Amino acid sequence: MHVSTELFPNAEVTAAVTEYAIANSTGLGEVINQHRNDTLEFTQREAQDPAMMINTLQAQFMVFIAKMHRVKKVLEIGCFTGYSALAWASAVSDYPDGEVVTLDLDYVATTFAESTFAKQDTNKVIKLIKGPASETITTLAGRQFDLIFIDANKEGYIEYLQKVLSLKLLAPNGVIFADNTLYRGLVANTENNPAAKNQAQVGRSKHIDAFNKFVAAHQELENVLVPAFDGINMIRYKNGGS
């Protein structure tokens, strides 16, 4: 079986390549860059995990995809400090009806996100709905979104996808991005993976593995699991839902 060769020989080269790619890709703008810095300070102050925020290159990638597909309506399941929501907002704000709906629990990180949205006057584009996403998502019944980003608690991924499908929230020809779907490589390899020393991460990776297999076996969906960042599972209806 053919397998791809290793792109970069070690962690140092990988980090250098990532920084090179960020520097040579279209920037996100001062507001989003500053919010990233503010989030890093916030996570240190409030003992939150900064790894819950997507990295800069992933944000650049997602904005590019959203603009390329003329996305106007984004649903985000998992807000954290609002960094990705601000990125989505920058992609849809050129449209008068552009909107980002983001769901997350009511806790210190979403309070921080809410204050940022108000400060940047993005409330007209970003709507934050606080509460368990498995419950608040039902309030969106009757609406459709061009792009849906799933980046919340890993054990909830299958339920979130099932509700997206049952509520028909994905517009025809829309796409779902499920984040962290390789989960530090643990879904594919635990024997040679230093991350396997963390049993909590191993447990979460099992939920992600179940999600990936659920998507691959789903008769109405087609997908590609991309080994970029921490893994992005890109999902759509077969034939665009037509």
Kindly report the pTM of this predicted structure: 0.93
Asked if pLDDT for residue 109 goes beyond 50, the answer is yes
Nearest of 151, 172, 208, 201 to residue 73 by alpha carbon: 172
Q: Encode pLDDT of 132-172 as tens digits.
A: 999 999 999 999 999 999 999 999 999 999 999 999 999 99
CATH fold of 11-241? Rossmann fold (3.40.50)
Determine what percent of the chain is predicted with pLDDT higher than 70.
Answer: 96
Q: Using 50, 70 and 90 to split pLDDT, how confident is the model at 242?
A: low
**What is the side-by-side strand order in the sheet with 170-179?**
126-130, 99-104, 73-77, 145-150, 170-179, 232-237, 221-226
**pLDDT one-digit tens code per residue, 175-195:** 999 999 999 888 887 777 777
Closest to 199 measured CA to CA, from 212, 186, 188, 208: 186
Residue ranges of domains in the chain = 11-241
Q: How confident is the model at residue 4 (pLDDT cuts 50, 70, 90)?
A: low
**For residue 1, what pLDDT is reported?**
47
